[in-house]
Amino acid sequence: MNPPITAGDQVPGPAPLPTDSAAGPRRTLPVEFHGRALDYFRVWIVNVLLTVVTLGVWSAWAKVRTRRWFYGHTRIDGHSFDYHATGRQILVGRIIALAVLVAASIISRLSPAGSLAVTIAILCLLSWTVNAGLRFSAAMMSWRNVRFGFQGNYMRAACVFLLMPALAVLTLGLLTPLASRMAGRYVAGGYRYGNAAFASTPRLGALYGALVLSILVFFVIMILGLLLAAAVAAADGIDVSMETLALDWYAFLYAPEGRPPAYDSGLLKLLIAALGPSFYAAFFIAGLYYGACLRNELFKRLTLTGGHRMQSRLSPLVLIWIVISGLVAAVVTLGLAYPWARVRHYRYLTQSLTVLAAPGLDELVSQQQNAPGSFGSEFSELEGFGSAAMF
């Protein structure tokens, strides 16, 4: 695992923007996480028990307690983050979401036309719900008493979250980097710290490079899965060779209808059985690899008004190890190791980030603290509509 970034480290990053040249030297402020797995285990086990006892109602308050714990233990420059949502807001949002789904299900069962109308309505509402969810999530978070916020656009959201993913699927993933770039630019560009704007300009070439490496990872995992199946076959006494595989395949193709093949060593069946698990494992791991590269690129190109920037040193291979080992530990312990796995994962994500603060950060914070109409100050109980999109 990469060592935690300390305040004295000089983090290499992309060339500064031309407008930053007069900003002066930047301070390196690591994003720190001071939470312990044992402390989170206490929060988690209470949440689980109360959620079971209340038949799921407490899960809204469990979400709030969890986020407040993680945000409260995350610090930049000695100041922690705060989470301001309430369990009531989230519960209202979930009730609204459930009511909408029930109504949609009833209408779609009444007639085919109703089903089509519901589908169109859901597609039209999707962009709004994504924007509302991002707005709610951002406005409920603050740092140094300044709320974050999000400003979205309905048509851009529809393009980013509906059109581009569909095109990425239709092109068998070839447009995934473009879709990722557009989504990253949209989300980052919509975020605000008070009234100060964020922006991110990820490089398309870097994302396509990440896609190529992810595809290589996919095929490596697939090959390893098939080699493991072949090793199991060899241990079972099956002759693992191309000749045996060809005989199995020939006998399978030309077997009389309704009768078993004349020759069946079991090698072909074993390899076919291994294809499914190997594919899902390869897809999952390749997705983690691409996601880590995408996160690095988004944060490396992230800027905040005033010339403030960020750096990300996430290692895709280390992240894959942390996720898989945490998943295995949680399964082996019947879920009891989940808090440890989650804290371990979150700690690595935070310790990979560094804020490159230009001179004037304190002044920026002071300006936002005194700015009227900061994001989050006008949220009412109706923001349950927004929370429904996120929870």
pLDDT in tens, 56-72: 999 999 999 999 999 99
- Indicate whether 146 pLDDT > 70: yes
Contact by Cβ (8 Å): 365, 146: yes
Average pLDDT, integer, range 112-130: 85
Give me the pLDDT at residue 372, please.
53
Report residue 203 CA to chain centroid gap. 20
Average pLDDT, integer, range 112-121: 84
Q: 389: pLDDT confidence band, cut at 50, 70 and 90? A: very low
Write the DSSP symbol of residue 245: H
| Range in 233-237, 252-256, 379-383 the model is least confident about | 379-383
Mean pLDDT of the chain: 85
Q: 25: pLDDT confidence band, cut at 50, 70 and 90? A: confident
Question: Can you tell me the distance from the alpha carbon of 139 to that of 368, in angstroms, rounded to the nearest whole number?
Answer: 14
- Indicate whether 267 pLDDT > 70: yes
Give me the pLDDT at residue 256, please.
56
- Indicate whether 383 pLDDT > 80: no
- Indicate whether 390 pLDDT > 50: no
Give me the pLDDT at residue 1, please.
40
Measured at the alpha carbon of residue 304, what is the angle toward residues 126 and 296, in degrees to the nearest 5? 70
- Token readout for 68 is 């407040």
Q: Best-predicted range by mean pLDDT among 116-120, 268-272, 348-352?
A: 348-352
Reported as a single tens digit per residue, the pLDDT across 153-177 is 999 999 999 999 999 999 999 999 9
Q: 374: pLDDT confidence band, cut at 50, 70 and 90? A: very low
Q: What percent of the chain has pLDDT over 90?
A: 60
Report residue 378 CA to chain centroid gap. 28
Give me the pLDDT at residue 100, please.
85
Q: 367: pLDDT confidence band, cut at 50, 70 and 90? A: confident
Give me the pLDDT at residue 182, please.
97
Taking each helix axis from N to C end, the angle separating 59-72 and 87-110, rounded to the nearest 10 degrees, works out to 130
Give me the pLDDT at residue 24, please.
62
- Indicate whether 110 pLDDT > 80: yes
At a CB cut-off of 8 Å and minimum separation 6, what does 33 contact? 73, 74, 75, 346, 347, 350, 351
Average pLDDT, integer, range 288-310: 96
Give me the pLDDT at residue 210, please.
98
Stronger pLDDT, 245 or 174, i.e. the higher one? 174
Closest to 108 (Cα-Cα) out of 98, 94, 122? 122
Owner of token pair 């979400």: 63
Closest to 140 (Cα-Cα) out of 263, 132, 73? 132
- Indicate whether 47 pLDDT > 90: yes
Question: Can you tell me the distance from the alpha carbon of 37 to that of 135, in angstroms, rounded to the nearest whole number?
Answer: 30
Q: 382: pLDDT confidence band, cut at 50, 70 and 90? A: very low
Write the DSSP symbol of residue 170: H
Average pLDDT, integer, range 79-94: 92
- Indicate whether 222 pLDDT > 70: yes
| Range in 28-32, 339-343, 384-388 the model is least confident about | 384-388
Q: 257: pLDDT confidence band, cut at 50, 70 and 90? A: low
Q: 350: pLDDT confidence band, cut at 50, 70 and 90? A: very high
**What are the distances in angstroms from CA 71 to CA 46, 64, 75, 324, 352?**
19, 10, 8, 24, 16
Give me the pLDDT at residue 115, please.
84
CB-neighbour burial class of residue 178 (10 A; exposed 0-12, middle 13-18, buried 19+): middle
- Indicate whether 377 pLDDT > 50: no
Give me the pLDDT at residue 261, please.
55
Give me the pLDDT at residue 240, please.
76
Helix (H, G, I), strand (E, B) or coil at 17: coil
Stronger pLDDT, 381 or 296, i.e. the higher one? 296
Amino acid in the structure at residue 299:
F
Give me the pLDDT at residue 260, please.
54
